[in-house]
Each structure stands twice: as structure tokens, then as C-alpha cells.
């Protein structure tokens, strides 16, 4: 590339061709109280929830306040028969799906089956009045049921201490609701965003496999099964002590292969083949229905009613054939009647209060994460807004009320919400319809489920949780961000090989580790000039960009705080050292100016300013001048408050990198 270097005399003779350089703007002093109010407003009230109340009469403010707490009074005014028709069909459809699922999910939580149905009666009614999502379907879900069951059985045995176990479940549900509602009232919903999407994908996938493995007890008709959830313990329960059995057979002149085959055959004899036939047949039916619905969206109802059809047919088969007398495990008795009060069963004192509080926070946060994600997903598909804080208050309130009416933690179900959406739901009335169907079931129909085989409930759960394994999302995460993939796989393997709580802990830990890594090690880049322009960009991204003689331009891509200020200073000095070494070996002019492009620097604290002062003193020893380009309002305000411009000179702060280069560079390089 041909270049031409103009001497200083030539530059002076052409001074009139030099573009006008605008001075950096110095913001006026802000009122401390006003600035504090602005910061609090943007942090906690970024959506400006009080804006509709402005300049309104008291009666109107009262109505708006009522609508803010109970959105049904807002959309209910325009409700009509056409919308009700859509909600009625959707409600009946998701009810046919939720009833068999609820009975199965209660087994994951180690609670009697009626508690799953209770949790699909009261909570959806509360949510319908307070929730802001039109599509979300409320009830027990597999992941939260498994998590709750795992954490609760660490404290009490669900068989031998059934009363204490149940009371602790209600206590945990109460505090799960308190946690959710508190986050909404204090507008701290952003806390759930600390659990990254990648970690959630891995956690959900691992939980799906764990839930499916837990169903092998009912699917194979195994009587003695582990209470642990890791894959090793489950496989030992399924196949027994393989090493011991194979060693015994090997000692009787069998080859290793023959010993394995004989051992597995003997283990299979301990399974109930009638149970396996029932489970496998209906699992094939359920998966086929789901595949058909996926291929043809108009046939979504086939997948939705398949679980209920499976329950009806399998129950009739067991009743007629008396398969329960052949070892096929059945649901047996389900308590008839609507939710009894459980206010007196919640622990409000003692050590069990702390246990319930701890379990409730974990279960409440996971339930909240799932519900908000589901609500936002379907809201974006229908182009309407879901208020995250209102959702938290609604979910929290329904779980608090639910804990007092014999319910355990309920939240948004992805499978039911998807069916609700495809069935054409219009409003949250679909939840009311579903709730009423569950009410009728509890009141009159629970005796009909007495002969329902456990295998069919296992098949329903397995078919439901398969959708939680998102292969495509994991592949996409690998392509986009390898560190995110580590978080995804860490959460996945933690759940599968350890436990649900360990997997959750790994997911949160890796998510926080990523945040800390990004905060403490911000990216920096060397900038060069794009040919034929005055634009300066990263030379790694734009190899054609050229460096300016005698000038090193560095961009810092992060706010500068105490956590990264020392690293930022040392990284800039390392860039300078590397560049000087390169120039020395190629016999080029040394660096005279270090320009720091600060447009990505959104904020700086006292540690950051102190690091800049140390950087300035280091540069003085090297006979290099420090220049700043385009610091933001907040940054320049703090720099002037600290007196930093007086240290480096106000004439060393510019609006753009181009202005800094034109002013500071002793020789300006122009392209021909």
C-alpha cells in the first residue's frame, strides 16, 4: 500500500483542511438526591409501573391499582363468548392431560396421588385472577416434584414418617410462595437471570433423564428400589450387584460372557412381565401420538388426550383381567373430596421451620425460573408483554394459598402450556376450566382410578419428560460459546451422576463463575484505522486495518471496577510492552502516545481511577503520553470529580479516536 507522510510544515500549510475537532462534553453537576432516585428507579422500576397513574383522578387510580393486582379486571372487560369458546376447549384439553400427569408427579414428590390433583385445583384459580400470561397452564411439574421429593426425603422418610414428611412439604410450599412473592414485591426478579440459559438447559436435560430412570420401578414392576436419584444407584436397583453375581457364576466354570448373560436373565425374572407389557405398549402409544402431533400441528389434541385414553384403557384392562393379582402394581385408593385445610400442618416454629425455609427457597426459585421462561416464550409468540414482577407475585400468592389447602409447589408446565397454546386459549380462563374439571374429578371420579396400573403413570411421565431434553439447544450452545457448554454439561452430569441438588449447585456455581470471569477479565483490543476512513476498529476483526505510527490505540470492553482495575492496567501495559518489542525488532519509531478508547466503559469506580493514575505514572517513566477518547457521561463525571484530567491534561481527552490521532500524532499518515 502506497502511503505519503506529510511533514509538520506541510501540515501547517494545509491547516485549513484539518477537520474541526469537537471538545469532550463535561456534564453539569447532578443533584445527589435526584441522582440517587434515578438510579433506584432504573434498577427496581425500569418498566415505570406508576406511569399509568400519572395525572389520573383518585377513582381511576383505585381502578388501575385493582387491575395491577388482579389483571382479570382489565382483560375481563373485553371478554366475550368467542374467547370463552377457545378457553373452554383449551381448558378441557389440558385437564385431560393434567389429571394423569398430576397423579404421576405426586409419586415423584413421594406424596399420595390426591395431592397432585389438589395442586391443580386451587393454584390455577388463584393464578387466573392474578397472572399476566394468557397461555401458561398451572400445576405440578416433573422437575419441581422430583426436586421437592429429593430434598424432603433427606429430612424425613415418606413411608415411616408420612405425617412429618407431608407437613414439611406444605411448609416448603409456603416458603416457596413467600420467596416468589417477595421477589415480585421488591422487584428483584432479575435475580433469577443469574441462572444462565445454558445451565437451565443442562439441568432440565439431566432432570429429565433422572425422572425417567426413577420410573423404572413402576415400568418394570420392581418392588425394592433405591431412594437415591443418581444413575449408578438406580442401575444397581434395576440389575442388583452385577460384580458379585458375575463373580459367583464365573467361579462355576462359566465364561465371562455366559456369566453376564445368565445373570441378566435371572435379574429379568425378578421383573414383572405383565407390568412391562402394559408399560411398553402404552409408552409406544404415547410416543406415537406425540410424534403424530409434532408432524401435524392440527393433531395436537391426539397427544393431549393420549395420556387420559391410556389411563382409561389400562385401568379397564387391569380391572377385567385381574392383573393386579398377578403382581401388577396399581394406584389403589385415592382420597375423595376437595382440598382439606392444611394451615395447622405448616411448621411455623422449631427446627423444621428452617428445613422448610431452605427447601422452599430452592424449589421456589426453580419453579419461578421455569414459569417465567414459559410465560415469556408464549408471550413472544403472541406478541404481548408478560410482567415478570406480577408473575412472581401471582405465583407466590397461589403457592402460599396452596400450602394452606393441601397443595405442594405448583408452577407453569411447559407441556400443558404448549397444549393450551395450540388448543387456541385466549385468556387465563382456560386455567379456571381446567381447575373445575379437576374439582369434579376429586369430588366424584377418584374411585375410578383405583385399578390404574403404576406402569401407565410411569409411561406418561417418561413420555412427558423426554421433551425436556433439548439436543438442538445443547448443540447450538456448543457452537456459540464453549464456556456456556461447560456450564450446560456440568449441570447435566451433576444431576445424572450425583443428585438434583448437586446438579443445581453446579449450574449456579458455573453461572456465577462465568460472571466473575467476565467481570474480572474484561476483553481489550488493539485498534487500527480502516483504509479510506477515519474509523478505528479491532485489528483482529479487521486485518486490513492499519496501525498509526507512534500511537498505540487500546479499547477496553467493560466497566472498570475494583474487581478488574488492576488487570486492566496490567493488560494495557502488556499491550504496550509487546508493541514496543515488535517496533524495536523491526527498527520502527517508538510509541509516543497511548490512546484508550473508552466508549465501551460504562462506569468506573475509585479503584479504576486509581489504576488509571498508576498507569499514567508508569507511562511517564516510559516517556509515553496517556490520551483518553470518548469517555461516557458517568465516567467523565467521576474522572473530573477525582481531578484526573488535571493530572494528564484536559487537552488529552477527546471525543473520538480520530480526533485524538489527528491532534496527537506527530506525523499523519494518509492513503494515496
Does the pLDDT at position 18 exceed 60? Answer: no
> Among 247-256, 377-386, 473-482, 627-636, which is the least confidently predicted range?
247-256
Position 387 in a domain? yes
- What pLDDT does residue 11 have? 41
> 79-83, 136-140, 321-325, 500-504: which range is least confident on average?
500-504
Average pLDDT over residues 36-47: 70
* Whether residue 455 is found in the same domain as residue 501: yes
Query: Do 401 and 549 have their domain in common?
Result: no
- The answer to which of 415-419, 602-606, 666-670 has the lowest mean pLDDT is 666-670
With bands split at pLDDT 50, 70 and 90, how would you rate the model's confidence at 121? Answer: very high
**Residue 127 counted as domain residue:** yes
The confidence score (pLDDT) of residue 14 equals 44
Q: Within this chain, do residues 143 and 227 fall inside the same structural domain, yes or no? A: no
- The CATH number of residue 657's host domain is 3.30.750.24
Phi, psi of 578 (to 5 degrees): -65, -40
What lies within 8 Å, CB to CB, of 38 at 6+ separation is: none
Query: Considering the chain, what percentage of its residues have pLDDT values greater than 70?
Result: 90
pLDDT at 133 over 50: yes
Between these two residues, 420 and 23, which has the higher pLDDT value? 420
Same domain, 304 and 397: yes
- 466-478: average pLDDT: 92
Report the DSSP pairing between strands 524-529 and 536-538.
Answer: antiparallel
In this prediction, residue 46 carries a pLDDT of 65
Say what the pTM is: 0.83
Same domain, 375 and 494: yes
Which of 515, 531, 551 lies at the terminal end of a domain, its last residue?
Answer: 515
176-180, 207-211, 237-241, 284-288: least confidently modelled range: 237-241
Report whether pLDDT(255) > 80.
Answer: no
Beta strands in 496-610 (DSSP E): 524-529, 536-538, 551-556, 593-597
DSSP-assigned letter for residue 445? I
Look at residue 229 in the predicted model and tell me its pLDDT. Answer: 86
Q: What nine digits make up the cell of 163?
A: 405425617
- How many domains are contained in the chain? 4
Would 19 be classed as within a structural domain? no
pLDDT in tens, 529-586: 999 998 999 999 999 999 998 999 999 999 999 999 999 999 999 999 999 999 999 8
584 shares a domain with 569? yes
Q: Which residue has the higher pLDDT, 264 or 396?
A: 396
The set of residues, in sequence order, having a beta carbon less than 8 Å from that of 262 and lying 6+ positions away, is 249, 254
Q: What is the pLDDT of residue 262?
A: 60
Cβ neighbours of residue 468 under 8 Å, at least 6 residues apart? 142, 143, 204, 205, 207, 208, 414
Q: Tell me if 172 is assigned to some domain.
A: yes
CA 267 vs. chain centroid, Å, equals 41
Residue with cell 501540515: 11
d(CA 369, CA 380): 17
* Residues spanned by the domain of 608: 522-667
Among the ranges given (228-237, 334-343, 642-651), the one the predictor scored with the smallest mean pLDDT: 228-237
Q: What is the pLDDT of residue 611?
A: 96
Q: For position 16, what pLDDT does the model report?
A: 47
**Is the residue at 13 inside a domain?**
no
- In this structure, are 349 and 471 located in the same domain? yes
Considering 270, 301, 327, which residue would you say is the last residue of a domain?
A: 270
The contacts found for 341-348 with CB under 8 angstroms, 24 or more apart, are 341/404, 341/405, 341/406, 342/170, 342/403, 342/404, 342/405, 342/406, 343/404, 345/166, 345/167, 345/170, 346/167, 346/170, 346/171, 346/174, 346/403, 346/404, 347/167, 347/168, 347/171
Name which of 22-31, 116-125, 179-188, 644-653 the model is least confident about: 22-31
Residue with more model confidence, 236 or 266:
236
pLDDT for the residue numbered 222: 84
First to last CA, the chain: 9
Please give the DSSP secondary-structure letter assigned to residue 195: S
Q: Contact, 278 vs 455, CB < 8 A?
A: yes
User: Is 105 a residue whose pLDDT tops 60?
Assistant: yes
Q: How far apart are CA 145 and CA 303, in angstroms?
A: 22
Segment 278-292, tens digit of pLDDT: 999 999 999 999 999
> Does 204 lie in the same domain as 85?
yes
- Where residue 270 falls among pLDDT bands split at 50, 70, 90? low
11 part of a folded domain: no
Helices (H), 216-272: 216-220, 231-239, 242-250, 256-269
Task: Check whether residue 255 and residue 277 sit in a common domain.
Answer: no
Looking at the predicted structure, is the pLDDT value of residue 326 above 90?
Answer: no
Quickly list DSSP for 65-110. HHHHH-THHHHGGG--HHHHHHHHHHHHHHHHHHHHHHHHHHHHTT
What does the pLDDT read at residue 101?
94
373 with 401, same domain: the answer is yes
Q: Is residue 7 situated within a structural domain?
A: no
Residue 17 has pLDDT above 60, yes or no: no
Nearest to 406 by CA among 110, 169, 75: 169
Same domain, 250 and 284: no
Nearest to 386 by CA among 368, 401, 402: 368
Task: Look at residue 26 and tell me if it is in a domain.
Answer: no
Q: Pick from 231, 246, 270: which residue ends a domain?
A: 270
Percent of the chain with pLDDT over 90: 64
Whether 214 and 257 share a structural domain: no
Amino acid at each position: 500500500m502506497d502511503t505519503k507522510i506529510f511533514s509538520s510544515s506541510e501540515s501547517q500549510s494545509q491547516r485549513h483542511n484539518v477537520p474541526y475537532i469537537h471538545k469532550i462534553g463535561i456534564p453539569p453537576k447532578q443533584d445527589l438526591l435526584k441522582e440517587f432516585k434515578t438510579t433506584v428507579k432504573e434498577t427496581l422500576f425500569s418498566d415505570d409501573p406508576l406511569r399509568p397513574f400519572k395525572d389520573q383522578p383518585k377513582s381511576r387510580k383505585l381502578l388501575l391499582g385493582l387491575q395491577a393486582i388482579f389483571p382479570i379486571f382489565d382483560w375481563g372487560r373485553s371478554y366475550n363468548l368467542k374467547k370463552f369458546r377457545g378457553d373452554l376447549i383449551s381448558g378441557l384439553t389440558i385437564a385431560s392431560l393434567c389429571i394423569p400427569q398430576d397423579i404421576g408427579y405426586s409419586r415423584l414428590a413421594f406424596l399420595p396421588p390426591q395431592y397432585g390433583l389438589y395442586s391443580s385445583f386451587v393454584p390455577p384459580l388463584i393464578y387466573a385472577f392474578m397472572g399476566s400470561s394468557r397461555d401458561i397452564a398451572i400445576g405440578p411439574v416433573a422437575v419441581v416434584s422430583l426436586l421437592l421429593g429429593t430434598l424432603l426425603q433427606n429430612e424425613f422418610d415418606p413411608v415411616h414418617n408420612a405425617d412429618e414428611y407431608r407437613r414439611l412439604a406444605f411448609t416448603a410450599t409456603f416458603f416457596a410462595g413467600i420467596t416468589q412473592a417477595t421477589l415480585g414485591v421488591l422487584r428483584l426478579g432479575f435475580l433469577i437471570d443469574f441462572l444462565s440459559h445454558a445451565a437451565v438447559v443442562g439441568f432440565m436435560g439431566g432432570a429429565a433423564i433422572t425422572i425417567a430412570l426413577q420410573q423404572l420401578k413402576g415400568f418394570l414392576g420392581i418392588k425394592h428400589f433405591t431412594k437415591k436419584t443418581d444413575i449408578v444407584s438406580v442401575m444397581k436397583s434395576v440389575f442388583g450387584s452385577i460384580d458379585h453375581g458375575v463373580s459367583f457364576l464365573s467361579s462355576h466354570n462359566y465364561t465371562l460372557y455366559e456369566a453376564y448373560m445368565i445373570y441378566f436373565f435371572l435379574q429379568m425374572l425378578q421383573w414383572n412381565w405383565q407390568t412391562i407389557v402394559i408399560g411398553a405398549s402404552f409408552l409406544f402409544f404415547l410416543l406415537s401420538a406425540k410424534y403424530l402431533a409434532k408432524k401435524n400441528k392440527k393433531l395436537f389434541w391426539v397427544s393431549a388426550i393420549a395420556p387420559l385414553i391410556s389411563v382409561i384403557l389400562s385401568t379397564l384392562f387391569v380391572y377385567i383381567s385381574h392383573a393386579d393379582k398377578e403382581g401388577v402394581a396399581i394406584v389403589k385408593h385415592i382420597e375423595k373430596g376437595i382440598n382439606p385445610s392444611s394451615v395447622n400442618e405448616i411448621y411455623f416454629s422449631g427446627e423444621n421451620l428452617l428445613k422448610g425455609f431452605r427447601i422452599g427457597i430452592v424449589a421456589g426459585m426453580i419453579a419461578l425460573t421455569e414459569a417465567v421462561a414459559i410465560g415469556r416464550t408464549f408471550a413472544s409468540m403472541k406478541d404481548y408483554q408478560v410482567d415478570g414482577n406480577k408473575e412472581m407475585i401471582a405465583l407466590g400468592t397461589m403457592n402460599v394459598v396452596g400450602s394452606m389447602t393441601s397443595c405442594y409447589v405448583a408452577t407453569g408446565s411447559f407441556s400443558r402450556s404448549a397444549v393450551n397454546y395450540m388448543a387456541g386459549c385466549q385468556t387465563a380462563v382456560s386455567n379456571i376450566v381446567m381447575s373445575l374439571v379437576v374439582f369434579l374429578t376429586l369430588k366424584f371420579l377418584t374411585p375410578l382410578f383405583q385399578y390404574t396400573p403404576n406402569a401407565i403413570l410411569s409411561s406418561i411421565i417418561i413420555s412427558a419428560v423426554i421433551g425436556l431434553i433439548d439436543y438442538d439447544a445443547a448443540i447450538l450452545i456448543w457452537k456459540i460459546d464453549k464456556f456456556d457448554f461447560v456450564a450446560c454439561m456440568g449441570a447435566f452430569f451433576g444431576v445424572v451422576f450425583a443428585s438434583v441438588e448437586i446438579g443445581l449447585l453446579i449450574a449456579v456455581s458455573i453461572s456465577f463463575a462465568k460472571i466473575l470471569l467476565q467481570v474480572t477479565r474484561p476483553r481489550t483490543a488493539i485498534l487500527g484505522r480502516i483504509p479510506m476512513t477515519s474509523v478505528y476498529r479491532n485489528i483482529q476483526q479487521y486485518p486490513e486495518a492499519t496501525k498509526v505510527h507512534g500511537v498505540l490505540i487500546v479499547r477496553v470492553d467493560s466497566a472498570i471496577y475494583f474487581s478488574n482495575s488492576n488487570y486492566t492496567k496490567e493488560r494495557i501495559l502488556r499491550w504496550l510492552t509487546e508493541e514496543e518489542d515488535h517496533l524495536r525488532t523491526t527498527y520502527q519509531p517508538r510509541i509516543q502516545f497511548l490512546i484508550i478508547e473508552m466508549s465501551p466503559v460504562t462506569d468506573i469506580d475509585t479503584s479504576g481511577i486509581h489504576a488509571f493514575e498508576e498507569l499514567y505514572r508508569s507511562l511517564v517513566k516510559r516517556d509515553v503520553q496517556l490520551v483518553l477518547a470518548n469517555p461516557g457521561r458517568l465516567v467523565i463525571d467521576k474522572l473530573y470529580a477525582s481531578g484526573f484530567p488535571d493530572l494528564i491534561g484536559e487537552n488529552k481527552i477527546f471525543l473520538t479516536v480520530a480526533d485524538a490521532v489527528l491532534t496527537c500524532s506527530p506525523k499523519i499518515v494518509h492513503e494515496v
